[in-house]
Amino acid sequence: MVDPSPLAELARALPDVRSSGDAADRVAYARDLWPRHHLAVRAGNVAEHRPAGVVWPASTEEVARVVRWAHDTRTPVVPFGAGSGVCAGVLPNERVIVLDLKRMTRWRELDERARTLDVEAGHMGLPLEEDLNRRGLTLGHFPSSILCSTVGGWIAARSAGQCSGKYGKIEDMVLALECVTGTGRVVTLRHRTSGPNLVPLVVGSEGTLAVVTSAKLRLHPKPEARAFAAFSFPTTEHGWEAMRAMFQAGLRPAVARLYDPFDAMLARRGAVKKDGADSGGTPGLGAAALRNLLRRPGAINELLEGSFGSAVFGGALLVVIFEGEAGAAATEGPHADLATARRVLEPMKARWLGEGPAQKWLLHRYSVSYRQAPVFAAGLFSDTMEVAAPWSKLGALYDGVRRALGAHVFVMAHMSHAYPDGCCIYFSFAGTAGPAEPGREGWDARCEATYDRAWRAALAAAVEAGGTLAHHHGAGRSKAPRLSSELGDAGVATVKALMRAFDPRGILNPGNLIPDAPTPYVDDAHPKPVTA
């Protein structure tokens, strides 16, 4: 009997393109790192959203051939980078072919005079930056996921790196994109300074408009010198007002991160403690005690948010790093910028803490990426939510989202990306199981219920405060139900029209960004058994 699966059909049509329908591969490509999926993993549920198979093209021509076949056969295709997304941007089914681009890693052209690099989309982040550094260059893009993310993934999610204050987000670095549209046509989109510019449409489209196969990126000289500083503030609001003044004064620190009092305490610790899974990622507390504490998150949040929390944890913390060319004297280069920053910040209740906290932050800049596993192992859950707003609405956004989350989970926050006109707030939160609900009696199902309530409340609060639902993680399916509230009817209609123009048969990552049905979340963690 002939195998009717899409992968078998693809293998017959394109036998020279590497592919796999192996069960382990299908499970490995069934989802990204959306924390809600971790609850299913902890419960022992095998991924139900497995694709028909995985394809590993080695060239743009192979990508185009696969997509043309998918267009002709109406087979859905999901572009895949390193799978480190956290918003359910990947959620296939048995009809979907996953298109993994990690074999496409070539540097097509490096122009050191123009400081540009044309690199294929599958190149991993850290090796790219290390190779550039050896040539005296930098992209300036340092997302926390740099060890497990690709150039194409950065572009798809509209990524931001830790040095965005100086170098911008990924959209500020893209000069041109080579893409394969939903019809299998190869197109090159170039950044234009006049007339229609299509590059910003594809950046952040999360695989729904085209498959990005290469990008021409703007480079910078590798910094010769850095100047480090840290300041404390009586409150988080004092800190963000000072940060606003610094950016509006024309200063562009590579790093400017403001931590609320509790998050500041964790930032001062820096390194990840290796206390085992029972620690839950928090020193001195066992998993059972931590679970009990987090059953009453509202009271804990209220206690820590006020003057008591600020006094206990030492106030808010601002970490600043300037970088650039080494000056001949202390009054030149990054050190001159830092001196100017001190003149701006210190009249605004900033207390100078020296260089130590900023140097410690740089040393452990990626450590936070490894703190999640012990939390889940302790029977809890954790996640992050990054929103943004103009400075005039930042207070309302901060208070509204924090209050909404705080009714369900323990929450802390820091401001990780600032601009002259606004700022990103990065909320981190942790929670545990709530009371049993119909259909959600088990521990992991009850954790899932708390998780869903917290996210629904927080997304609604962000829209009500006039903020964005995302800043640099993307929207995926986790935020898609509320995206229409932010974009409005006209915005949704525009996105759908763009999807039809790039991908007339809707085969590229269907259901992402603009969902077909207004469900609050994808029912993935605890799938119901199929009955006859």
Q: What is the pLDDT of residue 521?
A: 52
Q: Are strands 174-181 and 210-218 parallel, antiparallel or unpaired?
A: antiparallel
3-state secondary structure of 52: coil
Give CATH superfamily name and number for 225-464. Answer: FAD-linked oxidase, cap domain/gating helix (3.40.462.40)
CATH class of 6-100: alpha beta
Of 326, 63, 6, the residue nearest 181 (C-alpha)? 63
DSSP string for 446-478: HHHHHHHHHHHHHHHHHHHTT--S-SSS--TTT
Of 433, 459, 442, the residue nearest 376 (C-alpha)? 433
Question: Which residues in 8-134 belong to E strands, given as ranges?
Answer: 19-20, 53-55, 77-80, 97-100, 107-111, 116-120
Phi, psi at residue 443, to the nearest 5°?
A: -60, -50
Task: Round to whole Å and give the CA distance between 362 and 319.
Answer: 10
CATH architecture of the domain with range 107-221 = 2-Layer Sandwich (3.30)
Within 10 A of 493 (CB to CB), how many other CB atoms are there? Answer: 12
For every residue of 165-208, which 3-state class applies, written as one string?
A: HHHCCHHHCEEEEEEEECCCCEEEEECCCCCCCCHHHHCCCCCC
Q: What is the pLDDT of residue 525?
A: 39
Q: What is the pLDDT of residue 514?
A: 84
Task: Round to whole Å and give the CA distance between 418 and 50.
Answer: 39
Of 6, 184, 209, 217, the residue nearest 95 (C-alpha)? 6
Residues 6+ apart with CB under 8 A from 185: 64
Crossing angle (nearest 10°) for helices 236-248 and 391-406: 150
Q: What is the pLDDT of residue 2?
A: 47
Within 10 A of 338 (CB to CB), how many other CB atoms are there? Answer: 21
The alpha carbon torsion through 267, 272, 273, 279 (nearest 10 deg) reads 90
Q: What is the pLDDT of residue 528?
A: 44
pLDDT per position as a tens digit, 30-52: 999 999 999 988 988 878 889 99
Task: Round to whole Å and give the CA distance between 194 and 196.
Answer: 7
Tokens of 165: 């204050």
Q: What is the largest CA-CA distance in the chain?
A: 79
44 in the Ramachandran plot: left (φ > 0), alpha (ψ -120 to 50) or beta?
Answer: left
Domain ranges of the chain: 6-100, 107-221, 225-464
Tokens 């924090």 sit on residue: 402
- Where does residue 145 rank: exposed (0-12), middle (13-18), buried (19+ CB within 10 A)? buried
Crossing angle (nearest 10°) for helices 35-42 and 443-464: 170
Domains 107-221 and 225-464 share a fold: no
Q: What is the pLDDT of residue 163?
A: 97
Phi, psi at residue 525, to the nearest 5°?
A: -70, -35
Q: What is the pLDDT of residue 177?
A: 98
Query: Which positions of the chain have pLDDT values less than 50?
Result: 1-2, 271-285, 518-520, 522-532
Average pLDDT, the chain: 89
Query: What is the length of the chain?
Result: 532
**AA identity, residue 385:** M
The dihedral sign for the CA sequence 103, 108, 111, 114: negative
